[in-house]
Chain A
Amino acid sequence: QQQVKQSPQSLIVQKGGISIINCAYENTAFDYFPWYQQFPGKGPALLIAIRPDVSEKKEGRFTISFNKSAKQFSLHIMDSQPGDSATYFCAASIGGTSYGKLTFGQGTILTVHP
């Protein structure tokens, strides 16, 4: 019940295209959903995060869409750039003092061709 399932495992997009990564969860106690971006040799870095009382959050070219009833959330990267090529992880955590315990999806390797 703690699992977060992420798809696809890998994604190839042309420069200027839209990248879409999907995640699904089972545990309805999750109430914080961040997305992390990781470049080779680096630790993950927070990209954008959402709470379940919001259906969409946009920051620049990055948008999270959240569907509470379906227990799904997704990351959209608009106007994808070669510099966006990285591994993306969705994550979730339960509230209160458990926010420090993130459950991660398996990751999506995004390649943006110039």
Chain B
Amino acid sequence: KAGVTQTPRYLIKTRGQQVTLSCSPISGHRSVSWYQQTPGQGLQFLFEYFSETQRNKGNFPGRFSGRQFSNSRSEMNVSTLELGDSALYLCASSLDPGQRDIQYFGAGTRLSVL
């Protein structure tokens, strides 16, 4: 069974640009959560999608958005990039966290903003 796949693995953008990251969950998983990982702030929750609906949201500005498609694949978008957005973006999928199902993480997309 394939794991959580995130594409691309690495991305370089400049300030002011926008970026879209993709996450393909494990087959059958309906929930996808996104996290930002930085050396200073650690792992911070961005948002969670379940059955195409945003179910939980973290404390990030509106420049960070996401969506989930009917096949459970998810994308997150960051508009008007800032230097501080440089981070490893991780997505995690689970059958349904409401049942305390395990969240499986992908390897992440490393975004560098210049």
Q: Which residues of A contact B (CB under 8 A)?
A: 32, 34, 36, 41-46, 49, 51, 89, 91, 93, 96-107
When chains A and B are docked, how far (Å) is the Cα of A100 from the Cα of B45? 9
Task: Please give the distance in Å from B4's CB to the nearest CB on chain A.
Answer: 7
Is B42 in contact with chain A by the CB < 8 A criterion?
A: yes
A103 with B45, Cβ < 8 A, contacts A41-B107, A45-B105, A96-B98 known:
yes
Tell me the dominant secondary structure on chain B's binding face. strand
Residues of B within 8 A of A (CB-CB), count: 27
Contact assessment for A44 and B43 in the assembled complex, using a CB-CB cutoff below 8 Å = yes
Q: What are the interface flags for B102-114 relative to A under an 8 Å C-beta threshold, 1 for contact and 0 otherwise?
A: 1111111000000
Contact assessment for B55 and A104 in the assembled complex, using a CB-CB cutoff below 8 Å = no
Task: Please give the distance in Å from A81's CB to the nearest CB on chain B.
Answer: 23
Determine which of A101, A106, A107 lies in contact with B33 in the assembled complex, contact meaning CB atoms within 8 Å: A101
Known: A44-B90, A102-B35. 5 other contacts (CB 8 A): A99-B99, A101-B33, A102-B33, A102-B43, A107-B42
